[in-house]
Structure 1
Amino acid sequence: MISFFICLALLIGGYFVYGKIVENTFAPDDRETPAVRINDGVDYVVMPKWKLFLVQLLNIAGLGPIFGAMQGALWGPVVFLWITFGTIFAGGVHDYFSGMLSERNDGASISEVCGIYLGGVMKNVMRVFSVVLLVMVGTVFAVGPAGLIVTLLKNGGVTGMLTSSEMWLWIILAYYFIATFISIDKIIGRIYPLFGICLIIMAVGVIFGIFIHPEFTIPEIWSHFYNMHPKGTPVWSFMFITVACGAISGFHSTQSPLMARCMKSEKQGHFVFYGAMVAEGVIALIWAAAGCAIYEVSGGLSTGLSAVLASGQSAAIYDVCIKTMGSVGVALAMIGVIVCPITSGDTAFRSARLVLADWFKIDQNKFSKRLILCVPLLAVGAFVGHLDYSIVWRYFSWTNQTLAMIVLWTASMYLFREKKNYWITAVPATFMSAVSMTYFFCAPECLHLSTTIAYPVGLVLAALFLGIFIYATKKQPKPAKN
């Protein structure tokens, strides 16, 4: 339990110390923001800072820091270290620069931002990556809540059509269409901050539930500093891919432009982007602690947690809420784990609309132009929603972290051009390159090579990417500061 509190303190301290270093490196100023200058009443709308923070948290969170962190707990409390240091030195940096670089470029989607600093080829790669990732995320955040709704209804004795996952999936997709289509301040800006608060309350309820039940004990990192995964899945790089949203997630870079288009001042970025990532890290840390504390360990392995996760994400989350908070947990599970993922899913589709709009230069001020993009996006989402969920999630995980890698390299090139300390992003970019490339070579859904091959190849490729970046900085003229 002591190691949990140490990690929690490091996360909070990281916001004030390292987060400030990141902000000072970027150096926000008093220039007019896109929300003020453009203000189209649809996507560019000024919102208060507290709303921006809560909406950003809700957009980037969903089921990611909950179910992903519980899956990460299969490796044992060593996952606390990845959540803590990943959030401070990688995730927070990634989210801050993705949001602020979008803000500096008229609220452009992340694919367009990457194109500005990494060239046209990378812009097109990122366009495809972004749309595919966003559709997968939106679909994952529809299928998961639909399953949990059915679980809750069945446990409550409800039968018949209301327990059909198919029906709830279509209801959620219909809501997605509405929320993706209308102005950002009509639903998202008004009620999403309330759901963001619910997400925080649910996490607080889980950790207090662990403390008040003497049978639950959070294990210490130093006494369990080994691989506890019951299947023997390696820590590197599987854990770093599995726990994404609670440490670093490329999906966040697709969401940050939504709030970048709604900020009144650049100086809000530290609280909105870096702050929301730290809050998500805290939520992930709590859920990882729950996974480690509640379920039995036999033979030094997390066998009990493995069994509950096998029953599905909705059932696993429901089980934690019931065991830590009782009947109150059911209500919080309904709000926090049904509503919150749905709200992340609709903003995923909204972001996909904006990526396509930037890509094909389609003006989004008119209803008809938004319909042109919304209808096919949701149709694809409906198709993906009927695929094997576990397969969709596995491909999402690798795509997600590869996107984060590219965004960090983009930020590094920006900092180089501005004659600023680019190592603050180049170091995590190199690390995430090693994570992503190693996983690509050894994961079952990718090349599925042995770790003997995948590990050195992943590290060599990461070093190669760093070398290419350094070479590119040597070849480019260094423009003067503005």
Structure 2
Amino acid sequence: MNSLVLAVIGVAMVLAGYVLYSKYLASRVYKLDPVRTTPAHAMQDGVDYVPTNKYVLWGHHFTSVAGAAPIVGPAVAVIWGWLPAFLWVTLGTVFFAGMHDLGALWASVRNRGQSIGALSGRYIGKRGRNLFLVVIFLLLLMVNATFATVIAGLLVDTPTAVIPAWGALVVALLIGQAIYRYQVSLPIVSVVGVVALYGLILLGDRFPIELPETVLGLSASAFWVVVLFLYAGVASTLPVWVLLQPRDYINGLQLFIALGILYVSVLIATPTMVAPAINDAVPDDAPSLVPLLFVTIACGAVSGFHGMVSSGTSSKQLAKETDGRFVGYFGAVGEGLLALGAIIATTAGFRTLADWEAVYTSFSAGGAGTFVQGGGAIVNSGLGLPESLSATILATTAVLFAATTMDTGVRLQRYVIQEAAELVGVRPGTVGATLIALATGVGLAFGAGADGSGGLTIWPLFGTTNQLLAGLTLSIIVIMLMRKRRPVLPVLLPLVFLLAMTVYALVVQLGGWYREGNWLLVVLDVIILIAALWVIVEAAAGMNRTRKAPPADDDAEDDALAAAQR
């Protein structure tokens, strides 16, 4: 099949979802109110609660939720063939991810910018909240440790990406000052920022920085892991307007340009999908397509991590409630386009089926490197850019988004640690909570891997944990809608499907790891499975109580609480 046909169909589907379905959700289900005061205004503090231009906020939200996962997941899942991955990414983006991300943003805005973990206590109960926090903490631990490993690997394998990856931080700091201190026009800042970023990419391609085998007694990869955690710790404590917002905004523009380069290259080169639509000759170690497809591709179809970003940082910066449609739903559309690009790059970026099969020899063979390799070949064929420069652009894209997700993840983990500590009457403060988040992340990275790759040890549980959190987030949204007597089927049906597939996948993985004798993953799988079943029961009980109770005027209660905060 010609990849151009697949690209046109996929792009049309997700854009139609934004134009049509998101409008229905915004007006009929969530009923976004353009005049309602948001937490960004009611609780403005200049650090976390900051009213933000919707385009800048979209950049933060989109790049924070994107990261490396919508590249890695599809790059692995195409081992079953490109058709299942394509259907789950496109349909998942339209009916699952966009609805989930917008819903989580709306739920948090209507509750003073509280996180999903805090909302679970209000709508599900204290026991459900405690278990919710366990799941969230484990997920963030996986994200932070693993993304550090992924970024470090890309910086080692593609040394031409080192200069643009770190130079982008300087660009972002200058953009933040230009926007907030000197009130420079956003279009001017955008053009200058993009030109500067691509200038750094050209510079990096000309002057690659390759570390020696050992640095300060650490391998090159381990050294980058340590540096990344130090960076994330500092970045996560800065006011959002200093680095987080401008960096994510300029990264968002860069990603769309990179995607544009990839899609234009597909338009010109029209490469053939050399991988099969349905792969009947999967490697022996590949698990069954159902249910593992639905947890292997999480980000790019639907992801619980998005709900944490929506309720952890984005809700505190939303200037107007109706901006949530663009920030939340269109942010999911952007990630769906990235996942679609990853599918095309990893199935049409090879010359022959034999070349593709030579790479996909095992279930874990695909990844960010495969995306860079395949995408670079397509860009080289379509636009004639040197393969080195093409690879640098795509590697820089992957590094920048993984880095934004990582430091947002550390910030979110700090929130979770503070919430959990307050339950037992302890207040660790911003610095203390951040140090705990860094210590646990570094501990996992080096405790389970001397080279700092320990995050990969528990990465196989990321998909199930992530989808479990998405299902639990949807359960909170369902209860809120039931209390307001709003339509619930657009949320309830995806909720049931996600929880069923996730629990099924946990059981399948548990059996496989038990037979392999992988006791660490067996123990973690059992913990997550018990937490999942327990919270499902609590959520079902909460829905049943809500169904029998009279309608609740949550908005009036939330307004009173917001007024008290002011």
TM-score by length of structure 2 reads 0.76
Matched, 1:28 2:89: no
- Of 155-164 and 204-213, more deviation after overlay is shown by 155-164
Contact 1:87–1:246 under 8 Å retained in 2: yes
Tell me what 2:402 maps to.
341
The one of 93, 99, 111 aligned to 1:87: 93
Contact 2:211–2:220 under 8 Å retained in 1: no
Contact 1:108–1:358 under 8 Å retained in 2: no
Query: Deviations along 1:98-149, whole A, 9 cap, x unmatched?
Result: 1111111111111011222111111111111112211211122211111111
Q: What's the RMSD between the two structures over aligned residues? A: 3.0
Tell me what 1:18 maps to.
21
State the 1:305 CA deviation: 4.5
Q: C-alpha separation between the residues in 2 aligned to 1:68 and 1:270?
A: 25
Q: How does 1:149-188 map to 2 (within 5 A)?
A: 149-153=155-159, 158=210, 160=212, 161=214, 164-188=220-244
Tell me what 1:453 maps to.
none
Matched, 1:384 2:387: no
Contact 1:97–1:411 under 8 Å retained in 2: yes
- Of 413-422 and 129-138, more deviation after overlay is shown by 129-138
Structure 2 unmatched runs, 5+ = 162-207, 380-386, 449-453, 516-528, 556-566
State the 1:474 CA deviation: 3.9
Give me the identity figure in percent. Answer: 26
The one of 6, 11, 14 aligned to 2:9: 6
Query: Deviations along 1:217-268, whole A, 9 cap, x unmatched?
Result: 1379xx8356564345322111110000000000111111201000111010
- The verdict on how the C-alpha distance between 1:228 and 1:179 changes in structure 2, with shifts beyond 3 A counting, is farther
Tell me what 1:111 maps to.
117
State the 1:198 CA deviation: 1.7
Tell me what 2:52 maps to.
47
Matched, 1:330 2:391: yes
Query: Deviations along 1:318-376, whole A, 9 cap, x unmatched?
Result: 313431232322331342111220111000010111222233349xxx9x821110111
Tell me what 1:201 maps to.
257
One-letter amino acid of the structure 2 residue matched with residue 10 of structure 1: M
Tell me what 1:404 maps to.
470
Matched, 1:230 2:230: no
Q: C-alpha separation between the residues in 2 aligned to 1:377 and 1:433?
A: 28
Q: How does 1:227-376 map to 2 (within 5 A)?
A: 229-231=282-284, 233-257=287-311, 258-295=313-350, 303-307=357-361, 313-325=367-379, 326-361=387-422, 369-376=429-436
Contact 1:442–1:448 under 8 Å retained in 2: no
Tell me what 2:494 maps to.
428
Tell me what 2:551 maps to.
478
One-letter amino acid of the structure 1 residue matched with residue 552 of structure 2: P
Q: C-alpha separation between the residues in 1 aligned to 2:86 and 2:402?
A: 23
One-letter amino acid of the structure 1 residue matched with residue 507 of structure 2: F
Q: C-alpha separation between the residues in 2 aligned to 1:341 and 1:197?
A: 15
Tell me what 1:443 maps to.
509
One-letter amino acid of the structure 2 residue matched with residue 27 of structure 1: K
One-letter amino acid of the structure 2 residue matched with residue 438 of structure 1: Y
One-letter amino acid of the structure 2 residue matched with residue 256 of structure 1: S
Query: Deviations along 1:279-331, whole A, 9 cap, x unmatched?
Result: 101110111122121236759x9624414985673532331343123232233
- Of 146-155 and 389-398, more deviation after overlay is shown by 146-155
Q: C-alpha separation between the residues in 2 aligned to 1:334 and 1:435?
A: 32
- Number of positions where the alignment pairs a residue of Structure 1 with one of Structure 2: 463
Q: C-alpha separation between the residues in 2 aligned to 1:109 and 1:292?
A: 38
Matched, 1:414 2:480: yes
- Of 325-334 and 345-354, more deviation after overlay is shown by 325-334
Matched, 1:74 2:79: yes
Contact 1:308–1:315 under 8 Å retained in 2: no
The one of 129, 133, 141 aligned to 1:135: 141
Contact 1:57–1:196 under 8 Å retained in 2: yes
Query: Deviations along 1:410-434, whole A, 9 cap, x unmatched?
Result: 1111110010001111000000011
Q: C-alpha separation between the residues in 2 aligned to 1:351 and 1:445?
A: 32
Contact 2:160–2:392 under 8 Å retained in 1: no
Tell me what 2:132 maps to.
126
Q: C-alpha separation between the residues in 2 aligned to 1:212 and 1:245?
A: 28
One-letter amino acid of the structure 2 residue matched with residue 121 of structure 1: R
Contact 1:74–1:302 under 8 Å retained in 2: no
Contact 2:345–2:375 under 8 Å retained in 1: no
State the 1:377 CA deviation: 0.8
Q: C-alpha separation between the residues in 2 aligned to 1:445 and 1:14?
A: 38
Q: How does 1:53-68 map to 2 (within 5 A)?
A: 53-68=58-73
- The verdict on how the C-alpha distance between 1:304 and 1:271 changes in structure 2, with shifts beyond 3 A counting, is farther
Q: C-alpha separation between the residues in 2 aligned to 1:265 and 1:345?
A: 27
One-letter amino acid of the structure 1 residue matched with residue 288 of structure 2: P
- Of 1-10 and 84-93, more deviation after overlay is shown by 1-10
Q: Does the residue aligned with 2:300 lie in a helix, a strand or coil?
A: coil
One-letter amino acid of the structure 1 residue matched with residue 234 of structure 2: I
Query: Deviations along 1:184-233, whole A, 9 cap, x unmatched?
Result: 1110122221112222222222333344446x31379xx83565643453
- The verdict on how the C-alpha distance between 1:295 and 1:42 changes in structure 2, with shifts beyond 3 A counting, is same
One-letter amino acid of the structure 1 residue matched with residue 62 of structure 2: L
Q: C-alpha separation between the residues in 2 aligned to 1:339 and 1:319?
A: 17
Q: C-alpha separation between the residues in 2 aligned to 1:333 and 1:219?
A: 21
Tell me what 1:452 maps to.
none
- The verdict on how the C-alpha distance between 1:334 and 1:107 changes in structure 2, with shifts beyond 3 A counting, is same
Q: C-alpha separation between the residues in 1 aligned to 2:52 and 2:511?
A: 42
Q: C-alpha separation between the residues in 1 aligned to 2:106 and 2:52?
A: 16
Q: How does 1:213-228 map to 2 (within 5 A)?
A: 213=269, 216-218=271-273, 224-225=277-278
State the 1:392 CA deviation: 2.1
- The verdict on how the C-alpha distance between 1:159 and 1:26 changes in structure 2, with shifts beyond 3 A counting, is closer
